[in-house]
Amino acid sequence: MKQVIIAAIAICTIAVNSYAQQPAIRQKNFNLSRNVAISGYDPISYFNKKPVKGSANLAYTYGGITYYFANAADLNLFKNNPAAYEPQYGGWCAYAMGSKGQKVEVDPETYKIVNGKLYLFYNKLFNNTLTSWNKDETALKAKADANWQKYIAKTK
């Protein structure tokens, strides 16, 4: 049983690293606005509990995806471990990815940090999907993870 678990972890690690190495695939799957992720918001700022817009003067491209940062300290944090700060599901709505397997735009100020990962949500027209996500987070996250892998597999 231990060997099966170790093999599964190894396969997942290889898959994630392979995906991270392919900028063209990432660009096709990420939610980008004018070729910038998270509508220009600084990804580090979410972990400081106050999402703020970054600056084009402090831009950094990781794996084909460009991010803006509010300050040099945030930029350096990101450079040291980009995978830790990137939004899940390419920055698409986590609830929509889990409930219907769809890529849906987000409100970059509607988010949640779960186990050190950034999740973004649609929040317009009296429909805040973060509220729905919170009602069944465990099941929705499992479905969203599986649906996201399908998107990645389609574009390889």
pLDDT at 9 > cutoff 50:
no
Kindly report, residue by residue over 125-144, the tens digit of the pLDDT: 899 999 999 999 999 999 99
pLDDT at 15: 44
Rounded CA-CA distance 144/58 in Å is 31
Number of domains in the chain: 1
Mean pLDDT of 38-43: 98
pLDDT at 20: 47
CA angle 114, 30, 74 (to 5 degrees): 60
C-alpha to C-alpha distances, 57 to 6, 32, 126, nearest whole angstrom: 43, 18, 35
pLDDT at 14: 41
pLDDT at 12: 43
> Which domain does 92 fall in, by range?
2-154
In the DSSP assignment, the letter for residue 101 is -
pTM for this predicted structure: 0.84
Kindly report, residue by residue over 60-114, the tens digit of the pLDDT: 999 999 999 999 999 999 999 999 999 999 999 999 999 999 999 999 999 999 9
Average pLDDT over the chain, rounded to whole? 89
Mean pLDDT of 16-27: 67
Residue 29 pLDDT level (bands cut at 50, 70, 90): very high
